[in-house]
Copies of this chain bind each other. A is one copy, B any other.
Amino acid sequence: MSADDSTLALDARQLNEFLDAAFPDAGRGYRVESADLDGIRMRLPFDDDQLRPGGTISGPTMMSLADAAAWLVTLSRIGPEAMSVTSSLSIHFLAKPEPADLWAEARLLRLGARQSVSEVRLWTDGGDPAEPVAHATVAYAIPRPRTG
């Protein structure tokens, strides 16, 4: 990230307010726990709906969380006005997650005027972030030139 990008446009509280406004009935329960210039951390509370046959958390649950985390880490830097859309997402599923809350940490690899690229690491609550259950790389398209 270049020096002129190094301000936080939205903190954790503001990201959660934005999330609640954008998804009023957000049953998923995504919650940003922390946000700083290094990235954001989110928690997804466990829910039986997330299970797939075999009793582990489903791939779509993890993909949705990774997508949300990459979106929110982008907004944390460019602010809430951007109608950014995911342009690509690539995820590796590394271990079967136990039925428990999921954590996600998203970090920006690049923040350009037209695109952000983030990496996202997912792990199970109580587990070791160094042994992630999934790892994703996500590109977001930023439609309008940033004026900040």
Contacts and interface: CB of A to CB of B under 8 A. Distances in A.
Contacts of A7: none
Interface string A84-115: 01111111111110000000000001100011
Nearest to A119: B135
Given A59-B89, A63-B89, A95 B119 contact: no
A86 B40 CA distance: 26
Place the interface of chain A in its size category: 35 or more
Q: Work out how many copies of this chain go into the complex.
A: 4
14 contacts: A2-B131, A60-B63, A60-B67, A63-B67, A63-B89, A87-B92, A88-B88, A89-B89, A89-B91, A92-B109, A92-B110, A92-B137, A109-B135, A119-B135
Interface of A: 1-2, 22-23, 53-54, 59-60, 63-64, 67, 83, 85-96, 109-110, 114-115, 117, 119, 130-132, 135, 137, 139, 141
